[in-house]
Amino acid sequence: MQKVAYWKEDLDLNYLAIYRASLADGVGWRTVLFVSGCHHHCKECHNKESWNPNAGRPFTEKTKQYLFDCMTDQIDGLTISGGDPLYRTNIKTVTELCKEFKEKFPNKTIWLYTGNLYRDSKDLEVMKYVDVVVDGEFRADLKDTTLAFRGSSNQRIIDTHTGKVLKTQ
């Protein structure tokens, strides 16, 4: 499959959706932000519309406030998925969002899904604020619907504080 190149003139974050409460995107009840922009273009991706960084709508202060307003006592934290939050047009705003989130909600967790490997991303500033990263591209040949919080067996759930892979089943 030929990879499609997108050009985005401004480097602002776009997003496709926000789920106010989900149990499928990390441990506990989570608010989930699905960002636009991804260069991995995984075969059989379930969210191909997220590849284009221009898809969806702009992430604004109002959007951020909505995410923060979702953080009731029943919500355990924020999950950022995509697309890829570490995509070049996303990383700056995602880092700022995670930093502010941790300042406001130090007892809530941040999960981040990326097609990048953790070893290649662990030194990014954003990882100072992320508690758990699910790394690795989705691989259709390794698809496994019995796995918790990931789609293929090559993807790992990593505690960013210890660097250890978490066992979820």
Residue 1 domain flag? no
Average pLDDT for the chain:
89
* Domain assignment of residue 154, given as a range: 14-159
- pLDDT for residue 4 is more than 60: no
Residue 2 domain flag? no
For 132, the 3-state DSSP assignment is strand
- pLDDT for residue 159 is more than 90: yes
b/e 83-110 (16+ beta carbons within 10 angstroms → b): bbbbbebbbebbbebbeebbeeeeebbb
Residue 22 domain flag? yes
Residue 55 domain flag? yes
pLDDT band of residue 164 (cuts 50, 70, 90) is very high
Q: How many domains does the chain have?
A: 1
Residue 49 domain flag? yes
Residue 4 domain flag? no
- pLDDT for residue 37 is more than 90: no
Q: What is the CATH number of the domain that holds 121?
A: 3.20.20.70
Residue 9 domain flag? no
pLDDT band of residue 48 (cuts 50, 70, 90) is confident
Compute the C-alpha angle 150/156/159, nearest 5°: 115
- pLDDT for residue 40 is more than 80: no
Residue 69 domain flag? yes
The string of DSSP letters for 18-45 reads EEEEESSSSSSSEEEEEE---S---TT-
- pLDDT in the model for residue 23: 95
Share of the chain above pLDDT 90, in %: 70
List, in order, residues 6 or more apart from 125 with CB less than 8 Å away.
95
- pLDDT in the model for residue 9: 46
- pLDDT in the model for residue 31: 98
